[in-house]
């Protein structure tokens, strides 16, 4: 018996050859299932691997595998740093530090939307919008001289989506004093184009608050609600193929009761967490199918959860847990089986922190 690096093996075992997997099997079945960091290192093997891994087909294949299951992580941007942490309790303290590709303080970066490893962010000092993949350090400024892509905080709304040609796009809804202007940016062409909005345009008033966009199936969805007690609330759907808008009714929770909805894509189906109440907040999970809402889960009463105005339920894992992110950077984990709500990531009350659910992919910010 021989010993190598602490492992024992026999001479006969050392002569056993691994089967020849072949380049096609490696590229189609093995590499697409590896974490994005490993795929990045695989580019250095040879020119053929670099060419294959950089192809549009491989990037799409790898992205599909990475977006399955519970591979989501939490990206946090604080006063002085940006990092990615795991959603696994045992690994939450293991953080990957991210270097910003733009010359601003981390606290001046606002996360507007996240999809397949790409972030759409706004720089608070210039109000410019950028598409950014933090893992592969790919970034592009999508603002232009005609004011397209310049974001007004607390007024505009943004969503990332993929159209029928697999082009990544940014939908920018700009609210003026009496108008709602909609522009769509194409990653493939690097240009903006105007899209007509609904004729019913009262959503431009300051009394309405828009959420960020949630991409699901062939639609990009926004919640729009009046910012006062028992105000109207509606869901706006943008069909990414026909490029038209429509309204969807909100689930009925009772007359005169204050509520808020947080949209989530779960298993490629549109869901909404409806939170209502204040001290003992009740949360219901609804699913949208066949142009109707159906209640699929009633959360247990939890003694404390952040006030719904300042938080959003963003993700449900396969273990029946969800994460709640507040505007102060706190992340809570709700366990539906144990009926508990525990602090998952504490906030730094002296520094603003922005968080988002994030999947590590090799999708580039630009094709140019």
**What integer pLDDT is reported at residue 70 of this predicted model?**
60
Nearest to residue 263, comparing CAs of 215, 325, 192, 332? Answer: 215
**SS3 state at 171:** strand
The pLDDT tens digits of the residues spanning 177-228 come to 777 889 999 999 999 999 999 876 666 666 778 888 999 989 999 988 876 6
The residues, any chain, with a CB within 8 Å of residue 310's CB and separated by 6 or more, are 326, 327, 328
In the DSSP assignment, the letter for residue 87 is S
**In terms of DSSP H, where are the helices of 15-55?**
23-25, 36-42, 47-53
CB atoms within 10 A of CB 147: 12
The residues, any chain, with a CB within 8 Å of residue 25's CB and separated by 6 or more, are none
**SS3 state at 73:** strand
**What integer pLDDT is reported at residue 160 of this predicted model?**
95
**What integer pLDDT is reported at residue 15 of this predicted model?**
52
Q: What percentage of residues in the chain have a pLDDT greater than 70?
A: 73
Distances (CA, A) of 20 to 25, 38, 100: 10, 21, 42
pLDDT category at 1 given cuts 50, 70, 90 is: very low
Rg, Å, the chain Cα set:
23
User: For residues 75 and 314, what is the distance between their CA atoms, to the nearest angstrom?
Assistant: 13
Tokens for 183? 């522009």
Residue 183 CB-half CA count within 13 A: 19
User: For residues 194 and 90, what is the distance between their CA atoms, to the nearest angstrom?
Assistant: 47
More confident residue, 332 or 151: 151
What mean pLDDT, rounded, does the chain reach? Answer: 78
The pLDDT tens digits of the residues spanning 7-52 come to 433 444 445 554 566 677 787 778 888 888 888 888 888 888 888 8
In the DSSP assignment, the letter for residue 150 is B
User: For residues 84 and 100, what is the distance between their CA atoms, to the nearest angstrom?
Assistant: 13
Confidence check: pLDDT of 176 > 80: no
| pTM assigned to the model | 0.82
**In terms of DSSP H, where are the helices of 29-188?**
36-42, 47-53, 56-66
C-alpha 87, offset from chain centre: 14
More confident residue, 66 or 300: 66
Handedness of CA 242, 247, 253, 258 (dihedral sign): positive
DSSP-assigned letters across all residues of 222-288 = EEEEESSTT--EEEEEEETTTTEEEEEPPPP--TT--EEEEEEEETTEEEEEEEE-SSS-EEEEEEE
User: For residues 174 and 196, what is the distance between their CA atoms, to the nearest angstrom?
Assistant: 12
User: For residues 147 and 157, what is the distance between their CA atoms, to the nearest angstrom?
Assistant: 15
Let me know if 313 is exposed, middle or buried by CB neighbors in 10 A (0-12, 13-18, 19+): buried
More confident residue, 331 or 144: 144
User: For residues 142 and 184, what is the distance between their CA atoms, to the nearest angstrom?
Assistant: 11
Tokens for 78? 């604080």
Let me know if 35 is exposed, middle or buried by CB neighbors in 10 A (0-12, 13-18, 19+): middle
Distances (CA, A) of 121 to 45, 167, 236, 356: 33, 19, 22, 11
Pairing state between β 168-175 and 180-186: antiparallel
Domain ranges of the chain: 25-64
Tokens for 240? 């990414």
The residues, any chain, with a CB within 8 Å of residue 64's CB and separated by 6 or more, are 32
pLDDT category at 106 given cuts 50, 70, 90 is: confident
pLDDT category at 96 given cuts 50, 70, 90 is: confident
pLDDT category at 172 given cuts 50, 70, 90 is: very high
């Amino acid at each position: 018996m021989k010993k190598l690096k602490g492992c024992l093996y026999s001479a006969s075992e050392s002569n056993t050859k691994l089967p020849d997997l072949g380049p096609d099997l490696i590229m189609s079945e093995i590499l697409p299932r590896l974490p994005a960091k490993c795929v990045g290192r695989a580019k250095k093997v040879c020119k053929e691997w670099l060419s294959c891994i950089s192809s549009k087909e491989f990037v799409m294949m790898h992205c599909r595998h990475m977006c399955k299951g519970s591979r989501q992580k939490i990206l946090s941007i604080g006063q002085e740093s940006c990092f990615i942490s795991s959603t696994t309790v045992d690994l939450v303290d293991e953080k990957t530090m991210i270097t910003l590709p733009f010359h601003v303080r981390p606290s001046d970066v606002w996360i507007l939307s996240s999809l397949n490893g790409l972030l759409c962010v706004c720089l608070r000092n210039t109000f410019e919008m950028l598409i950014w993949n933090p893992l592969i350090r790919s970034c592009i400024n999508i603002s232009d001289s005609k004011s397209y892509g310049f974001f007004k905080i607390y007024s505009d709304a943004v969503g990332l989506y993929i159209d029928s040609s697999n082009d990544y796009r940014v939908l920018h809804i700009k609210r003026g004093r009496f108008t709602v202007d909609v522009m769509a940016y194409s990653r493939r062409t690097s240009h903006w184009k105007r899209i007509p909005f609904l004729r019913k345009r009262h959503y431009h008033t300051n009394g309405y608050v828009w959420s960020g966009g949630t991409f699901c199936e062939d639609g990009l969805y926004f919640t729009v609600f009046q910012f006062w007690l028992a105000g109207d609330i509606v869901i706006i759907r943008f069909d990414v193929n026909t490029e038209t808008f429509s309204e969807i009714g909100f689930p009925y929770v009772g007359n005169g009761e204050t509520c808020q909805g947080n949209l989530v894509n779960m298993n490629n189906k549109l869901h909404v967490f409806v939170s209502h109440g204040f001290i003992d907040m009740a949360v219901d999970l609804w699913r949208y199918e066949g142009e109707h809402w159906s209640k699929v889960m009633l959360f247990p009463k939890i003694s404390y959860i952040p006030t719904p105005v300042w938080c959003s339920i963003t993700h449900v894992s396969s273990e029946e847990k969800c994460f709640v992110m507040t505007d102060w950077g706190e992340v809570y984990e709700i366990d539906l089986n144990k009926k508990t709500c525990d602090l998952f990531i504490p906030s730094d009350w002296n520094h603003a922190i922005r968080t988002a659910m994030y999947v590590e992919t090799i999708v580039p910010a630009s094709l140019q």
